[in-house]
Amino acid sequence: MDRFLDSFLNAKLSAATWPAILSGLIVTIEIAALVVGTGLLLGLALALVRWRAGRWFAWPLMLFVDLFRAVPPLVLVLLVFFGLPNIGIELPSFAVLWLVLSLVLAAFAEEIVWAGLIAVKRGQREAARSTGLTETQTLLYVVLPQALRLAVAPLTNRTIAITKNTALGTVIGVPEIINQATTAVSFSGNATPLLMGAFAYLLLFIPVIGLGRLIESRFAWRRQ
């Protein structure tokens, strides 16, 4: 038992390690916020453009969306991180992670919002048009608000899942939580930093999951 406490809940070591874990937590929050912002906006924009544009846009978009939904994010992270320098583009690892996760989230968000848009009854659109709203006004004021209600639950779940992928940054050396924790483990030969890292994720994501549930129940819409 003493040995267990010493290697998993070492008080002295945790006092020495928490500044590193905290700085990792801040990096994780920064990337997560950036990814959620750019990913959701880009996904929404793509779905709206797809609505207005014709098939010439739908096909390449579908390929992009399917590609980013089918290929594991870690593959994309390594591809961008090791591939771009070879063609003369040097991006810091932080930017690589941001770019890749934003594109992945955008792909899923586009698909979810699109599914919401086409689920809105045709009559809604016809009625809106017949009152004199333009096509764009109909989309923004009538169709989109209803579509987003349908989209909010899957969108929240997907956003949380992709935000958790910020942990992949450790593979390319982004100093986020798990990166800081594993570094501390290899320096100390003690597992305490691992548990601290796990605790930091719980601290960050349990409120996020709670918020997700709140958003779902607040905006959820019982369809007949």
Looking at the Cβ atoms of 4 and 56, the one nearer to another protein is 4
Tell the smallest beta-carbon distance from residue 95 to another protein (Å).
17
Tell the smallest beta-carbon distance from residue 197 to another protein (Å).
7
Tell the smallest beta-carbon distance from residue 52 to another protein (Å).
19
Tell the smallest beta-carbon distance from residue 9 to another protein (Å).
11
Longest dimension (CA), the chain: 76
* 158-178 CB burial, b ≥16 within 10 A, e <16: bbbebbebbbbbbebebbbbb
Looking at the Cβ atoms of 40 and 100, the one nearer to another protein is 100
Contact 123, 141 (CB under 8 A): no
Looking at the Cβ atoms of 39 and 197, the one nearer to another protein is 197
Distances in Å between the Cα of 88 and the Cα atoms of 37, 80, 91, 176, 198 are 28, 12, 10, 26, 37
Looking at the Cβ atoms of 85 and 136, the one nearer to another protein is 85
C-alpha–C-alpha distance, residues 115 and 149, integer Å: 11
Q: Which residues bind another protein (CB under 8 A)?
A: 4, 7-8, 66-67, 69-76, 78-79, 82-83, 86-88, 111, 115-116, 118-119, 150, 160-161, 164-168, 170-171, 177-178, 182, 185, 190-191, 194-195, 197-198, 201-202, 205-206, 209
Contact 32, 209 (CB under 8 A): no
Terminal alpha carbon distance of the chain: 57
Looking at the Cβ atoms of 133 and 188, the one nearer to another protein is 188
